[in-house]
Amino acid sequence: MPFEAIASAFLAAAPSLTFRRSVAGLPLPSQPPSSFLPRYLPVRALMKRNPKRLKYSAPRFFKKSEAMVYVEMDPLGSETWRLEPVIELIKEGAVGVIPTDTVYAIVCDLRSYSSIERLRRIKDIENKKPLSILCHSFQDIDKYTVGFPRGDGRGQTNIFRTVKHCLPGPYTFILPATKELPKQCIKSGRTARYESRKHVGVRMPNDSICQAILQNLDEPLVSTSVKWPSEDQWMLDPVIIADTYEPEGLDFVVDGGIRVADPSTVVDMTGKYPTIIRQGKGPKLEWMIVEGEDYGGDPSELPFPQVA
């Protein structure tokens, strides 16, 4: 049926029917008129984004209502006043990218549940996968996890003294979470033995930019490393990160320079032994074992340095 006939039928029916009933009762053409077809097909669906588009290469500041905020920083963390708009955005519920002492991370406020869900959608992370938290101090770690054993005078090793020499540093320690941690951040344990418990990875990055942000917030940051959307590889250039993830809803990017593809070393502290389940930038220390190793000894025999 010609389009003009459809329009006439609609006008005749409109006085006696509601808009929805009028439209529902109209015969539809087998193919929409050519004028209804979009002039352009979605580019994102047809081709991979060009990583050479460096439209954020210059330090530009945007109002939140206009566009994504991009802040270029000295990697040493000088001129921390530049971070003030980013800190305010995080407090308001923004999701963005900041540098760490390893690779870049997508972060948001730990107490904003809607921001955590947005982070998952931007990164396209399934809800069953865990998120880490970036902490400014051991006090944060003790609040949201059971913390590191401090020794009880009856043979329990004081791991806390040992870990103090690793943090801040390029390690992620997996610890049992407390009820203070939002459920959006945690998942069941790695093994059947700990299936009923909830664990979370905690980081205390040795990065001046990251620490300057954390010390001005009331809570730790929920985080996940930045990777290519379709590849299991880290994105290391903040300019390309901005160009790729801004269309996905990213609110800000803090540029601390190009990083090296060297993630944190992940140490599982929930079993009998501190076990490395991913070797990264942090070196293996003598009191750690590697996943798959058959240590078979007494945990107290591991050489934990007993220092103040």
pTM of structure: 0.72
- Cβ-count burial of 112 within 10 angstroms (0-12 exposed, 13-18 middle, 19+ buried)? buried
Residue 51 domain flag: no
Residue 247 domain flag: yes
Which distant-in-sequence residues (6+ apart) come within 8 Å of 155 by Cβ?
Answer: 300
Domain residues for 182?
69-290
Average pLDDT for the chain: 75
pLDDT of amino acid 287: 87
Higher pLDDT, 280 or 296: 280
CATH number for the domain that contains residue 97? 3.90.870.10
pLDDT of amino acid 159: 82
pLDDT of amino acid 156: 56
CB-facing half-sphere around the CA of 177: CA atoms within 13 A: 22
Residue 153 domain flag: yes
Q: Assign 2 a pLDDT band (cuts: 50, 70, 90).
A: low
DSSP 8-state symbol, 177: B
DSSP 8-state symbol, 26: S
Report, in angstroms and rounded to the nearest whole number, the Rg of the chain calculated over CA atoms: 26
Q: Which of 192, 196, 236 is nearest to 99 (CA)?
A: 236
Residue 299 domain flag: no
pLDDT in tens, 189-210: 444 343 444 889 999 999 999 9
Residue 98 domain flag: yes
Which distant-in-sequence residues (6+ apart) come within 8 Å of 77 by Cβ?
Answer: 207, 208, 209, 211, 212
The answer to whether the beta carbons of residues 121 and 278 sit under 8 Å apart is: no
pLDDT in tens, 115-159: 999 998 888 877 667 789 999 999 999 999 999 877 665 555 678
- Tokens 């043979």 identify what position? 155
Residue 286 domain flag: yes
Distance CA 85, CA 241 (A): 19
Residue 55 domain flag: no
Residue 56 domain flag: no
Count of structural domains within the chain: 1
- Cβ-count burial of 7 within 10 angstroms (0-12 exposed, 13-18 middle, 19+ buried)? exposed
